A and B are shown apart, each in its own frame.
Chain A
């Protein structure tokens, strides 16, 4: 097994070892290039979140007419909102051009209902698909 002795012999430790021992850094510490990559990725993610928040229109209002106009102006969707005894509209948010979210309160419960556009054959506003939760029905239906 001379070949093992020749191939697995002792080597000199790198000069940087002493500095690293003095630093006492954990071996699992992220290296500088990795750290920079993480910081850049986090910065991008934070910027994307801020951009999404700034560029996602939202409205706080309990007036169905105001919300209806606001939604129509931004998406072309004419949602027949109406005042209701049992449920109170509190705001709206445009998710994308074909989807909005309406926030409401029913008694002491808060909720959000999503309304999506369903295109008919002529590519016009045709119908509303509502993730219907019982209290939210009162936003449009009496």
Chain B
């Protein structure tokens, strides 16, 4: 997660209040931020709220970014903290067909249906995980981050990340063994 020169310049411009630079930064990271929020909450409206809050906070606090931890780690932390702040009572896992079908190259409607059902069941099972396990699963499987990267973002040791993932895997295996 090392910043390339272009990103570095963009971030510097953002810190100086350059709106065009912020738009460029937004374009680079919007899918990541939204995807984490969507996979965590399972709800499009809540994911939009989270992503919006994260970018608004980012815009306001760019001046406070000192580059010690790397921009991506810093941004991921904003997203993770905002996700974990989301009230549990507001959790709603609904079918998330949109967004998937656009990417699917399934040959038949039956394939699409099966894939859709599988995703719903997976997301339903993920929704039952404890928040600290769920966010680790999302960072691992939505973003493909390493244990070390997840540990830096969530503020726990890599061992704790491994332990949470392990427990999450066992739970999900039980829930999804028929798939």
Contacts and interface: CB of A to CB of B under 8 A. Distances in A.
Interface in A1-24: 1, 3-14, 16-18, 20-21, 24
Given A1-B141, A10-B143, A11-B31, A16 B179 contact: no
B52 A8 contact: no
Contacts of B52: 17, 20-21, 25, 27
B26 A21 contact: yes
A26 to B, nearest CB: 8
A24 B56 contact: yes
A121 to B, nearest CB: 56
Given A3-B176, A8-B122, A20-B48, A13 B138 contact: no
A1 B142 CA distance: 12
Interface residues of A, number: 21
B93 to A, nearest CB: 12
Interface residues of B, number: 40
A7 B119 contact: yes
Contact of B30 (A8, A9, A13, A27): A13
A17 B122 contact: no
B51 interface: yes
A27 B83 CA distance: 13
Nearest to B172: A4
Contact of B34 (A3, A6, A14): A14
Interface of B: 23, 26, 30-35, 38-39, 44, 48-53, 55-56, 59, 99-100, 102, 115, 118-119, 122-123, 126, 137-138, 140-144, 169, 172, 176, 179
Given A3-B122, A13-B33, A21-B52, 8 more contacts: A1-B169, A8-B137, A10-B32, A14-B44, A17-B30, A17-B52, A21-B55, A24-B59
